Structure 1
């Protein structure tokens, strides 16, 4: 375990901004992909082969979109945690400093 912990709350908040940027980029990819796929329509026919393809494609497509959404949510949670940690570290520092007065 570390003997010393050093945190710069402003740098941690800045990192949270970068983490939010990653989340926003993931959301943009999801939106772009969803719109592009919807605009193309079904690339298969309504025959037995087309129905078989659709039965495999549609669940895989949805799993990809859902997984990317989960990934985005993870980055949102990380950013929130970084901000909360910075706030808590700052409060702790103020309370500890008050103990020396």
Structure 2
């Protein structure tokens, strides 16, 4: 036997708006972080970690697990999170449209 579910389209539309706000916030953090990293990473020999053996170890790590790999993973993760939240919001909006049109009589 199928269970009955109820959905409030207005509440779902509000949730879609909130989900989209979170996505925009994550994307804003990502953009700000990328801009700030450019400042440090394009400093050439004056980078904060230096260009000596210890600086190279910081960047590369022991097995390509240093700062550079961690930075790349973080940026990719933030991009993925923002994209996923954007897709959630779009799905919520599509559900609202489907629910509200399903309740209208056919002409």
Q: Which TM-score applies when normalising by structure 2?
A: 0.79
Map of 2:20 onto structure 1: 20
Out of 50, 54, 70, which is 1:60 matched to?
Answer: 70
2:33 corresponds in structure 1 to: 33
2:54 pairs with 26, 49, 57, which one?
Answer: 49
Unaligned runs of 5+ in 2: 42-46, 61-65
Partners of 1:48 and 1:83 in 2: CA distance: 53
The higher relative CO (CA closer than 8 Å, separation ≥ 6) is in 1
- Structure 1 residue runs of 5 or longer lacking an equivalent are none
How far the C-alpha of 1:8 sits from its partner, in A, is 2.0
- CA distance, structure 1, for counterparts of residue 27 and residue 2 of structure 2: 37
What SS does the corresponding residue of 1:45 show, helix, strand or coil?
Answer: coil
